């Protein structure tokens, strides 16, 4: 398993799914681009952002951390 350093966004507090989506849009970063930059599967990122996956373990957790949701 590849344990690369995840690029996290500077944050002050934990964000909600909607806040994470708005922040990416405000920065002009597409979800696909964010997934590629952070070596996260695009479908996993979508599942976390849409609330289908809570991001408790594995790649979903990595995605949630990178988004500032954890």
Q: Where are the beta strands (DSSP E) in the chain?
A: none
Which tens digits make up the pLDDT trace of 14-26? Answer: 899 999 999 999 9
Cβ atoms 60, 47 nearer than 8 A: yes
pTM recorded for the entire structure: 0.77
Q: Kindly tell me the number of DSSP H helices and DSSP E strands found in the chain.
A: 4, 0
Residue 38 confidence (pLDDT): 93
**Domain spans of the chain, in order of start:** 17-67
How far is it, in rounded angstroms, from Cα 52 to Cα 60? 10
CA distances 10 to 14, 52, 65, Å, are: 11, 25, 11
């Amino acid at each position: 398993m590849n344990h690369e350093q995840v690029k996290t966004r500077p944050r002050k507090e934990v964000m909600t799914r909607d806040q994470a989506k708005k922040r990416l849009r405000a920065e002009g970063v597409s979800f696909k681009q964010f997934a590629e930059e952070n070596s996260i599967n695009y479908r996993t990122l979508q599942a976390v952002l849409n609330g289908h996956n809570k991001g408790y373990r594995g790649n979903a957790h990595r995605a949630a951390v990178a988004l500032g949701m954890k």
